[in-house]
Amino acid sequence: MLGENDAPSMLSYAATGAKYGIGMFVPLVAATFLLAYVVQEMTVRAGIATGRGLAQLIGDRLGARWSVTVAVAVVVGNFLTLVTEFIGIRTGLDYFGVPPLVAVGTVVALTAGAVASGRYWTWEKLTLSLAALNLVFVPFALAAAPRWGRVAQSLATWHPLPGGPVSSVMLLIVSDLGATVTPWMLFFQQSAVADKGLRLHDMRQGRLDTAVGAVVAAVCGIAVVAGTSVLAGHRRVLTLLNGARFADALVPHAGRLASTLFAIGITEAGMVAVMVISTTTGYVLTEVTPARSTVDMASGRLGQFHWIVIGSAAAAGAIVLVPGLPLLGVVLAVNVVAVVSMPPVLVLLNRFTADSSVMGALHSTPRQRTAGAAVTAAVVAASLALGASFFAPLF
């Protein structure tokens, strides 16, 4: 769940707070993490029940053609998301004067070192340690000093849609949804559960882990929306925001401390996600081939899985070094792509988890099936609403 609070997620929340203030978006973030819990709980059950990652399970049930097609789509989406992670890292470290090449190179080296450790537990300890820094967004919000009364009021009343072009509002709504309900996280969590070898007696702890992660991640996401709301109405910051340079934009309106904490947080968010998403790419590609899809190295040598992880991170980092990229636009577009690509994956996941021949005793209850169908419907509705908002001015 803290991996979901990645750089594009935090930049999307920051864009929301800076453009529209608090309004309806604080409770929206809380709602999206409720949706994320529903679908990620399904991947915990599926990973425990089958001992397989989602890509491998698709191949087992539907055939190699389906699994390869899904794998290609996920890998492309992962690569685009990795690019946005490096955007967050680049802008965060740029605040401290770190050159882009050094920023990108350091994170690629960290990712390579983590996966080359050859031990899942070592990899997980490192990512969890970095993920704990996501909590820096809470003191960031406190230092920015937004109107906490309005934050509480928005949670209690859920304001209607803000004013402005409908397409712009819907873009941010869908982008915020794509910041939490993403294909890569479903594939990662199920593969990680299988890689760790979790069993039926671990199910309660798996649910608790996912629920606690959802609450903590939601608090951090809400903190970003609230903290950056101090930028709302200040038109002079738009140039900086188009370059995703929120830390610089915050200096005159929130102070140096808040800006520094935001820069640290956005860097951490990108670093954790680079490690997790590149590992997801390794899982997905090796699950549809005869290769062994695990972080652990039985032979003591880097295998196909490990080279995929390192190579995907390095390739995405290289893209971000291209001068003149419209950074914030890329971030929002990738989050939208994540939402649009979710329905087929959710349909398959709902189908598998409802099948007792696949899941055994862990098959979905009627309530769980209803919740899964509701999440799928919400994602489809958001995608259709975004498309309709762009065509509405024509009529």
Whether 78 shows a pLDDT value over 60: the answer reads yes
Whether 136 shows a pLDDT value over 90: the answer reads yes
Task: Taking residues 32-53, report their average pLDDT.
Answer: 92
pLDDT for 355 equals: 92
Mean pLDDT of the chain: 82
The domain limits of the chain are 7-394
Whether 65 shows a pLDDT value over 50: the answer reads yes
Tens-digit pLDDT profile for residues 198-228:
999 999 999 999 999 999 999 999 899 888 8
Architecture of domain 7-394: Up-down Bundle (1.20)
Three-state DSSP string of the chain: CCCCCCHHHHHHHHHHHHHHCCCCHHHHHHHHHHHHHHHHHHHHHHHHHHCCCHHHHHHHHHCHHHHHHHHHHHHHHHHHHHHHHHHHHHHHHHCCCCCHHHHHHHHHHHHHHHHHCCCHHHHHHHHHHHHHHHHHHHHHHHHHCCCHHHHHHHHHHCCCCCCCCHHHHHHHHHHHHHCCCCHHHHHHHHHHHHHHCCCHHHHHHHHHHHHHHHHHHHHHHHHHHHHHHHHCCCHHHHHHHHCCCHHHHHHHHHCHHHHHHHHHHHHHHHHHHHHHHHHHHHHHHHHCCCCCCCCCCCCCCCCHHHHHHHHHHHHHHHHHCCCCCCHHHHHHHHHHHHHHCHHHHHHHHHHHHHCHHHHHHHCCCHHHHHHHHHHHHHHHHHHHHHHHHHHHHHC
Least-confidence region, from 55-59, 135-139, 175-179, 365-369 = 175-179
